[in-house]
Amino acid sequence: MRALENGIRTILTATLLAGVGACNGDDQSSGTDTEGTTGTTGTTGSTTSPTTATDTSTSTSTSSSTSTSTSTSTSTSTGTDTGTDTGTGDTGTGDTGTAGTVGSSGPGTTTGGTTGTTTGGTTGTTTGTGSSTGGSTGGMPICGAAFFTDFTSCMDGFTAGKANSDPGVSNPTWACGDPTSGPVGAIGVWATNLDGSYAPDESAYLEAPPIDLSNCGGNSVFVEIVHWYDIENNFDGGNFQVSIDGGQTWDVVPALGHWYDTNDLGASFVPPAGQPGFTSGDMTWRTSIVDLGPYLGEADVRFRFVFGSDASVQYDGWYIDSYEVIVQ
């Protein structure tokens, strides 16, 4: 009886071993083998979120000896790429998926595994945004849009400083507001001093915003100034000046309407010493006009008021009520 049991075990063992050989493609029975195709690589990966693709290839072979072999291969590829940039966008690229493996051959007809397919993410796109603003060249455009201010709000753009860098020159006292000296009761003026007399040994300027006359061909352009002054006669005084080279050099320009009172101011420093200018004064509001015709076509025309004094005797000074650029 035991011998019979041992014989049955031997037969079962042999049968199992034969089945294992068939699964590993070791069966030598004749048949036509067809090799599985190579998996196709996926497209470029996405920049937004990773994707996972699975390849499964299955091959089945059948022979007359009734053996069946099945091979399964799985490949997983994850492509992840995120592109973020400011300016020129970079291109995100997903990783390439791995192709499915080739199915194992069986003893009979073998069908290769299906083609592995891996799909990566789509191409990432980043769009940068750039912004650049350059500074303007020349002054504010005038022709077609005249300019006027009466200084009631002391608008920005007017600047004051020393017209002569000599260390003996006093600091400028130009200021904007309502005066408590000179023409008291005026609302909004630029003055050599709002609250008293100007300083000795001044050489100071008040400069208006630059203007652009490059497109003024065929027009007449004037500056009209309403002003009041009380100044030491023949020594202290002020005048109008224009520059077309960015303020490197300045020319004294004629004053029409209310003309200069002298051709030779006796201030301590140039400018305005030795130049024509307003001096003395009847303490009355006056209107003077400057013709900008000689500067038509220039893109950067600068206009300023210059005031100077000597070392002794100071008065209330010079007060500018309004400044207007007129285009005709």
Task: List the domain boundaries for the chain.
Answer: 43-123, 140-327
Per residue in 60-110, pLDDT (tens digit) is 333 333 333 333 333 333 443 343 434 444 444 444 445 444 444 444 433
C-alpha distances out from residue 264 to 16, 225, 259, 272, 317, Å: 129, 22, 14, 9, 18
The CATH class of 140-327 is mainly beta
Does position 301 have pLDDT exceeding 90, yes or no? yes
Residues paired with 75 in a beta bridge: 55
Asked if 46 and 124 count as a contact pair (C-beta separation under 8 A), the reply is yes
7: how many CB neighbours lie within 10 A of its CB?
Answer: 10
**Report field, pTM of the whole predicted structure over 0.95:** no
Per residue in 10-57, pLDDT (tens digit) is 433 333 333 333 333 333 334 343 443 443 443 443 433 333 333 333
DSSP H helical ranges for the chain: 2-23
Query: What's the confidence (pLDDT) of residue 31?
Result: 37
Per residue in 170-180, pLDDT (tens digit) is 999 999 999 99
Per residue in 163-212, pLDDT (tens digit) is 999 999 999 999 999 999 999 999 999 999 999 999 999 999 999 999 99
User: Three-class SS of residue 57?
Assistant: strand
Query: What's the confidence (pLDDT) of residue 214?
Result: 93
